[in-house]
Amino acid sequence: MTDIIDAFNTAFGLIVTINPALVEILFLSIKVSLTAVVIASLLGFAIGGALAVFPFPGRGALSAILSALMGLPPVIAGLFVYLLLSNMGPFGVLQLLYTPTAMIIAQVVLVTPIVGALTRQACLDLLEEYDEQLRSLSASSSAIVVTLLWDGRYRLITAVLAGFGRAIAEVGAVMIVGGNIDHITRTMTTAIALETSKGNIALALALGIILLAVAFAVNAALIGVQRLANRWAYA
Amino acid sequence: MLDPSCPLEAPDGHLASPPLPIQLKGLVYAAGSKRVIDGIDLTIESRRITAIMGPNGAGKSVLLRLMHGLITPTTGDILWAGRRMDRLIARRQAMVFQRPVLLRRSVAANIAYALGLRGVERYQRAIRVEEALKLAGLERHSATSARVLSGGEQQRLCLARALSLEPDVLFLDEPTSSLDPASTQAIERLLLDAQRRGIKVVLVTHDVGQARRLAHDVVFLHDGRVIEHQEAEGFFADSRSEAARAFLSGGLVL
């Protein structure tokens, strides 16, 4: 019990004094996850939209794989990117392992299926209603993709926020490819894992509280967006 | 018959004249083992309102979708002034569906979007949007989200959007089946007006009264076949087939 009270005191102390170490890892966490989510969203929108609209052999299988990858364990994503970036791997020459870039790549691998699969479903739902009307208006397949993405924008924001929630909270991928190096690749989650294993429970809990606050903020934004969408367009 | 050597296409790549009449030749559309459209031969002439009638499941909506090119016939041909459907002909058509399909955008943006897809220049779109909204009496809703309009207003917007494309042929699939009398009247006025401006209107309807008010000729379908095709006056006064008479008397009772 004292641990928890200590934790709140410590967290409060870290926040009000704007502890520079805390600020550093918080900013790195947000920078890595935000960059990964932006890249993963662009990829996910394109993949999800194309899977919904363009018919091609193997589309069903690809869609199933994409959905399955939503549950990809972060350590597997990390391991996969580790193999690619390690000195023996095909991209070893780039010397990216244990850099923030490597962490971004791993999180892109993790988040793209989430945004992609949710985008595909949002597009399919809209397409059911729009398909004949859009074809009647002589829309090309690529024009249909753009229309679905734009008209599904509120649901896509939800997909992006879900992806961000996943990225900011995961530890496995960034740990494996980043290495939790102080001042270079230490993020909120890897710091929590480290402090816990050092027995520094109060600090770990304090970091956890801050991480939770970020997650709550993301969720609040999510609900806000949905409310806005409902009010404006019955979307 | 049109001379096949006579080009419909003007030098600028547009159609020089409306792609009419529509000729259906041995048209069959099978869904699984059921022939929803079961061998239809039909010629639909230009510049009038043609009503397609018949009981539920007769194949009316499918026939409309076949003509509009949304689905492909199993066998048979559809000729537009002697020519098969292509991009140019498709761009001279528009369709209004039974349930209004509106994008999650403003009323004006819904029309501008359609004009954009049909290649209308940006600077012309605003003018055409304004004209279309005025025609449909929706000017004051211009900036409203299209999805919060009433059912009647939504369908009027769909029709305004279709008309803004200045089509040669307009297809409508039971456009007023869920509308109140006032909204229905507004739609019918727009259709008569469109016909007067030279647009060919092909209308699927259940509503005998509506067909009487609007149609110049009636195609009566039953079980995927054309039972009758004749002038509206003749059809309503003295239909030749048992099925059509039964349908009309049933329709008049309601």
Domain holding B168: CATH number? 3.40.50.300
Q: How far apart are the first and last CA of chain A?
A: 46
Q: How far apart are CA B61 and CA B79, in angstroms?
A: 19
CB-based contacts of A228: which residues, under 8 Å, 6+ apart?
A154
Q: What is the DSSP string of A107-125?
A: HHHHHHHHHHHHHHHHHHH
Nearest to A234 among B94, B118, B148 (CB): B148
CB within 8 Å: B70 and A132? yes
What's the pLDDT at B13?
59
Q: Which residues of chain B have pLDDT under 70?
A: 1-14, 251-254
Q: With contacts defined as CB-CB under 8 Å, which chain A residues touch B94?
A: 136-137
* CA nearest to A234 within chain B: B147
> Would you tell me which residues 176-235 of chain A have a C-beta closer than 8 angstroms to some C-beta of chain B?
232-235
Query: Does any domain span residue B1?
Result: no
Query: Does any domain span residue B205?
Result: yes
Q: How many domains does chain B have?
A: 1
What's the pLDDT at A12?
82
Domain spans, chain A: 27-198
CB within 8 Å: B65 and A132? yes
A155, B217, B230, B249 from B243: Cα distances, Å: 49, 17, 15, 10
What's the pLDDT at B2?
46
Q: How far apart are CA B40 and CA B60, in angstroms?
A: 12
b/e sequence B74-99, b meaning 16+ C-beta within 10 Å: eebebbbbebebeeebbbbbbbbbeb
CB within 8 Å: A138 and B91? yes
What's the pLDDT at A128?
96
∠B126-B128-B132 over CA atoms, to 5°? 120
Interchain contact A125–B (C-beta under 8 A): no
Q: What is the pTM of this model?
A: 0.89
- Fold for A27-198, please state it: MetI-like fold (1.10.3720)
Interchain contact A128–B (C-beta under 8 A): no
CB within 8 Å: A129 and B101? yes
Q: With contacts defined as CB-CB under 8 Å, which chain B residues touch A151?
A: 103-105
Interchain contact A10–B (C-beta under 8 A): no
Query: Does any domain span residue B9?
Result: no
pLDDT along chain A (235 residues), means of 10: 79 83 91 97 98 95 96 96 95 95 97 98 97 96 97 91 93 95 94 92 86 88 81 60
Q: How far apart are the first and last CA of chain B?
A: 42
Parent domain of B90: 22-253
Query: Does any domain span residue B61?
Result: yes
Question: Min CA distance, B103 vs chain A (Å)?
Answer: 7
Interchain contact A133–B (C-beta under 8 A): yes
